[in-house]
Structure 1
């Protein structure tokens, strides 16, 4: 791809008045056609075609192509055209044609009118546009970037894959080049976002080559982008994910712990792999009281085939993996909710199963120019059906319930992990970036139907729209301190790019982890959208008991805390489904006018109310945190801090710095070892009273897709502090899902014991800790040391109860 271009071949001047068809306005110029489609009052699609033809709709990146009517007023002024909605004013300048967009008040958001080089251009096959860089404008998004969060002044290259150079430390593990899940979308602090709707490799000059402008271009295809006005980042993400798809809910149990295993024998040690190892692994988790719900067997479960080796999938069990059917049965008998298997996207021939030969003979592989092909043709429904019936069903029929779809980047380019070059035709290059979406979509949908529950797929690569087939993991980064911080950045950037269900390998992947690094990485992992532990260091494999007693205690502590927080995590996931706002939120997401947040790359909000601040420096006893506007409470000590300030916080090894927003209400369940698929029992509400605040607890069956049809219930919880007194109200459950009767325990952070506590008109009697624990309901207890008030009350779904706390 050539260097970023200036407007060597622009569109020229406007030659006729616009043609209008409903919300679509087409402008003809000397060299091109420019089309503006108003999707909503806040979103306009801008397309430029130098041959006058526009590409047909596609289903991988964009899911909404048809929009309702939008009121657009067209005016001609001084030879230019102004198209206005309730939110935007789009000026189409005549000579040359350039586009300027302002908000309703007339404040310019984006303009191509400056100097000689603004506007759309074409250079050979490359298409792009250059826009003015406005004062104090910063840019966030671009997918799973591990280098920076704020991309102002940077040049960003987006194309699915990772570094291929050797040695690994500057090649395959090059955080500057890492590109597992690029997303051609950014948000500007000026209040807008741009999504470049193009599948080819793209380049973004965000003020790198010139301080007064930024540009983006694609290697080929159409110049087609959506301009989205917020002005807030959450609103921009809401519209972007309406366009590219909202993230569906994973099964409720998938918000617990995911464990990966090489079955006792990673590459080079495959003779040690066995089904018995897998069973004993899960038994050990259960015996040690470490909660777990999901397990996947990575690549050494399968026989490495005759053609592609470890880079392809034979769907045949390795000879050391005795009785896999019995293995699945024993795992499910220990109350695992899902067990899955790792695959790659090529077929291979095994010893007794010749799937590669069969698929080629039946033309079920993607056609290639230089050979017979080997990739599953995930772009063809018949090929997907054949893959499912003849390959995946061999493992699904005996107990596999999901796949880990690895190595989605080798299609249409030189692969990272195999010497088997795949399709390289122009069509394959066009499909390269969207192959990971098709690859994840197929098993997600097939297993959902087969399991009769929500889909789940575990994948590494993605592009715009991958959030529809969650979840994605950050790749195989070594167990070294230098990669810990960049992995956190990857998660922040994914959230800023519309992807919420994201994870990583706790403790890193290759190499034996320093126990301290393992401890710190696990703390972060348990507060990630998906909690996932897996490694290939033989024989440690990132199993928590292999890194010392302190690491085991840390793992158990934070895993149990995560499970207690699942009502909060699950409610946050539903919020993502409704709004597009991710669970893991860079501080800038909700503080885009606070310049202090622009370079905070190792802190994040986890849902609405909790801020997570991982420690990423070896031997650190403290870390600096930035607390945005408001009041913040240290989760461990209860100390309150004023916002919009930096603090140096003490961080013992067993303590992940956590802060809670003043006013927070955090729902928690009782301690459990796995999700039993039943409604939650007693719910604890961890409350940090401050002014008026509220929270909505989401509940449904946890398994089906009925929530999409409205079959769920929400319970509104409010906290109100007035005149030194606090009122906690738990409303009636609203919705069609049957919420059971239960106790609600309120855990109120306050400095002194109350004078009285009552529920409605009933005054509750004080109790000591032992009496409170034994009480079935309607009791209170104040923990003087922890500065916490506990109170308990029974409630049916249709009731509203009110706790009144007088000081």
Structure 2
């Protein structure tokens, strides 16, 4: 072999292993700069880069190789009209320096390179990498490369079930779950599960990046090199937002300022949700009836298990002639003799909402031909040049037609929300059939945002019809889905191997701006052994949304089917959840205002503690309760990690210092829960359904530690008036020093008039105090030596400030 042949083969080999670098085009050198209000445009030799300063801590960075920028889209981002922010620009020999009140940007001229610092001069993000710096293009692919710093870790990326900390990992984000059968190698693949990906991450360096694209994206967070990370999309514009924290809650606040805050669910939406196949899951459809849901709710009531919301899953309707089980006819199965009377009977048992499962395709039934009608009128999305089956949820007129001619057939007789299933089937093979729906580049671009349009339609329509806050129950989502709550984790089998990955999914999606999240507690498919059922439902009842549902015939995850012990434990934790509703609702309001999820991975509040980076079986529910599910079969102890601070065992009352691992006892009827010192936790009597009785006493469990506070939130629980300021805040504070504990309960402040109520104050302190005064008068001392709890019953109602001094 001569030298020329060797060289030619070397080139072939090198081009085969380096295809990406050969065809990449960078931004080039800076030629001109234009500054217009809060926008700075750099025209470079290969591409234009536009920096839009949305706020002093949010920058939108767009790069176009054809020098045109795309129109703003309405699905992912909810806000584009940012007020102007002051930007100082200075030119130096080799760079431009741009300054806001929180950030310093340095733009190198030759070639263009963007580095971002905080105002103290600490580097946050850099494009100082080998090869092409920053933005790049390769064919239709666009992306960006950034420097990977030592000790930098990444969190977010949506509802992922594989890992929490993404440093050193690569992932592709595209809505769907694993394909292929049998499910065990396809859909039941925690590595591929992608029900609700979100192209957003937060870095422990103190910033976040939201890649504003609907195209499938790939993120290499250092899998191939410990020097750089990159993200790229298959097509479209390179458009991303840089958000400065530096703490994770501040980053989430900024991300949800861009993509939208999660509105409040109705108050009863924080109660128990139950799904049912009405007596007959797939293959047993003949056993369904309109009596089964009524009897089901009656049994919950008889067994004194709180319940507020029911949904009927897919077997309420006949499966159509064209799409089978994968489409919606809006025609009741013949076994449902009188659906309207069924709804009446359900609401007569004091359910607050009843909903139905739907899919996004129209179908023809035995009596209704909605598919034919929708196609004729142009309300389905085209498939391969022909009228399709999917409702065109991107088109308002098609949404109106779907609502008036399909949805209102059930909404008009009692359905109050939908479970919008199979949003991933638009442009991708469906789980329930071999159909793939529409294809093409435009469909590929719309695939990821289809679940948002799909969830938005019933959310808004039902809110208007019901004259109350909307609620939608959906499986798939993408950036912005938090505006149409809520998401559930999908159809994971009742097996121990899937239990912790489901917890992981909830933690990851919470770190991605989605705060209302549920799962099928106990697992969805297959029979659960009673121990797994107990452990999973303990976790589920302390999740952000408590949702019980299974397709295993005939048990259906109903608690009485798993033995007396399981039934009692289920009832115990359901009542615990209902007692904590004031705490959960107040934290839900914080989610609405700040974007902080109800269920929080420990890293959200302890981002500088590497010990929490891979903890996937503990989380904070709200800011003060740390929940530790037991995910190992047969375990009667488990190891927990206590972050910085002091923590009190919720069950025993014993207090431990943080920054340590602890082995705790966890009998089958107990899931370890720890309370953060300084916590103020409001609770109430556990009712059987929201609205059963007026709550006239709020319990306050206070764990005094230095200075702490809690804002107890109240509104009417159902309307959207809270968005107009119709709410009230009761500020509660605790100050502890060496001699005293001072507790202040202020009168409610705000436009909403809180009914007069009493307080029961339980103060967790180590010894009986010498004296207790309430508003200057001595109070009787009630101290439990065993539980180490002081109980104070102020004789002052909530219409006056209350001050308790404990000495």
TM-score (norm 1): 0.96
User: Is 2:188 the counterpart of 1:173?
Assistant: yes
Counterpart Cα distance in 2 of 1:583 and 1:267: 34
1:308-366 CA distances to partner (integer Å, 9 max, x unpaired)? 11000000000111211011001101100000000000001111011101101111111
- Post-superposition CA distance 1:7-63 (Å, at most 9, x none): 843234324221122111111112111111111111111111111110001111001
Indicate whether 1:722 and 2:775 are aligned: no
Per-residue CA deviation, residues 348-397 of structure 1 (Å, 9 max, x unaligned), is 11110111011011111112225420001100000000000000000001
Secondary structure of 1:34's partner?
Answer: strand
Which structure 1 segments of 5+ residues have no match? 767-780
Mapped partners of 2:347, 2:310: distance in 1: 10
Q: Which among 450, 453, 456 is matched to residue 441 of structure 1?
A: 456
Work out the CA distance in 1 between the residues paired with 2:88 and 2:223. Answer: 37
SS in 1 for 2:156: strand
Look up the match of 2:13: none
Q: CA deviation at 1:105?
A: 1.2
2:752 pairs with 1:737:
yes
Q: Say which of 506, 510, 514 aligns to 1:491.
A: 506
1:515 to 512, 530, 548: 530
Q: 1:188 aligns with which of 203, 208, 223?
A: 203
Contact kept, 8 Å, 1:408 with 1:436, in 2: the verdict is yes
Task: Confirm whether residue 79 of structure 1 aligns to residue 80 of structure 2.
Answer: no
In structure 1, what is the equivalent of residue 802 of structure 2? 801
Which TM-score applies when normalising by structure 2?
0.96
Match for residue 777 of structure 1?
none
Q: Does structure 2 retain, via aligned residues, the 8 Å contact 1:364–1:376? A: yes
- Contact kept, 8 Å, 2:363 with 2:369, in 1: the verdict is yes
Query: What residue in structure 2 maps to residue 758 of structure 1?
Result: 773
Per-residue CA deviation, residues 57-112 of structure 1 (Å, 9 max, x unaligned), is: 11110011111111111111123211111111111111221211111111111111
Instruction: Work out whether 1:163 is the aligned partner of 2:178.
Output: yes
Match of 2:39 in 1: 24
Q: Distance in 1 between matches of 2:258 and 2:779?
A: 52
Whether the 8 Å CA contact 2:32–2:44 is kept in 1: the answer is no
Tell me the residue number matched to 1:90: 105
* Alignment partner, residue 596 of structure 2: 581
Q: Give the alignment of 1:402-441 within 5 angstroms.
A: 402-441=417-456
Asked if the contact 2:30–2:110 (Cα under 8 Å) also holds between the matched residues in 1, the reply is no
Counterpart among 222, 225, 239 of residue 224 in structure 1: 239
Equivalent position of 1:285 in the other structure:
300
1:351 matched to which residue of 2? 366
Asked if the contact 1:163/1:416 (under 8 Å) is kept, the reply is: no
C-alpha distance in 2, partners of 1:213/1:560?
A: 50
Q: Which runs of 5+ in 2 are unaligned?
A: 1-16
Aligned to 1:599: 614
How many angstroms does 1:412 deviate by?
A: 1.5
Aligned residues: CA RMSD: 1.4
Counterpart in 1 of 2:702? 687
CA gap of 1:84–1:677, structure 2 versus 1, over 3 A, is farther
Question: d(CA) in 1 for partners of 2:146 and 2:792?
Answer: 58
* Kept in 2: contact 1:98–1:112 (CA 8 A): yes
Q: For residues 285 and 72 of structure 1, do their structure 2 counterparts lie closer, same or farther at Cα, with a shift above 3 Å needed?
A: same
Alignment match of 1:525 (pick from 525, 534, 540): 540
TM-superposed CA distance for 1:551, in Å, is 0.7
Q: Could you tell me which of 390, 394, 405 is aligned with 1:375?
A: 390
Secondary structure at the residue paired with 1:16? strand
In structure 2, what is the Cα distance between the partners aligned to 1:795 and 1:18?
Answer: 66
TM-superposed deviation, 1:503: 0.6
Alpha-carbon distance, 1:419 to partner: 1.6
Q: Contact conserved, 1:12 with 1:95, CA < 8 A, in 2?
A: no
User: Offset of 1:425 from its aligned partner?
Assistant: 2.1
Give secondary structure in 1 for the equivalent of 2:286: helix
2:365 & 2:783 partners in 1: Cα distance? Answer: 66
SS in 1 for 2:183: coil
Aligned with 2:536: secondary structure?
A: helix
Q: Aligned runs of 1:532-571 on 2, under 5 Å?
A: 532-571=547-586
Q: 1:392 aligns to what?
A: 407
Cα deviation, residue 722, structure 1: 2.6
Cα pair 2:96 2:106 within 8 Å, conserved: yes
Matched residue of 1:40: which SS?
coil
Query: Which position in structure 1 is the counterpart of 2:4?
Result: none
TM-aligned CA distance change 1:242 to 1:6, over 3 Å:
farther
Q: How far apart, CA to CA, are the structure 2 residues paired with 1:509 and 1:358?
A: 35
The 4+ residue runs of structure 1 with deviation greater than 6 A are none
- For the residue of structure 2 that corresponds to 1:82, the secondary structure is strand
Q: Secondary structure at the match of 1:169?
A: helix
How far off its partner does 1:280 sit? Answer: 0.3
Equivalents in 2 of 1:6, 1:606: separation in Å?
Answer: 46
Change beyond 3 A, Cα 1:718–1:265? same
Aligned-pair distance for 1:693? 1.3
SS in 1 for 2:32: coil
User: In the alignment, what sits opposite 1:120?
Assistant: 135
Name the structure 2 match of 1:785. 786
Between the aligned partners of 2:694 and 2:72, the Cα distance in structure 1 is 42
In the alignment, does 2:139 pair up with 1:138?
no
Partner Cα distance (1:107, 1:549) in 2: 59
**Alpha-carbon offset, residue 415 of structure 1:** 2.0
1:461 corresponds to = 476
- The answer to whether the 8 Å contact 1:677/1:701 transfers is no
Shift of 1:679: 5.7
Residue of structure 2 equivalent to 1:572: 587
SS in structure 2 opposite 1:17?
A: strand
| Residue of structure 2 in register with 1:770 after alignment | none
Q: State which of 338, 361, 365 in structure 1 corresponds to 2:380.
A: 365
- Does the C-alpha gap of structure 1 residues 36 and 4 become closer, same or farther in structure 2, counting only changes over 3 Å? farther
Q: How many residues align?
A: 791
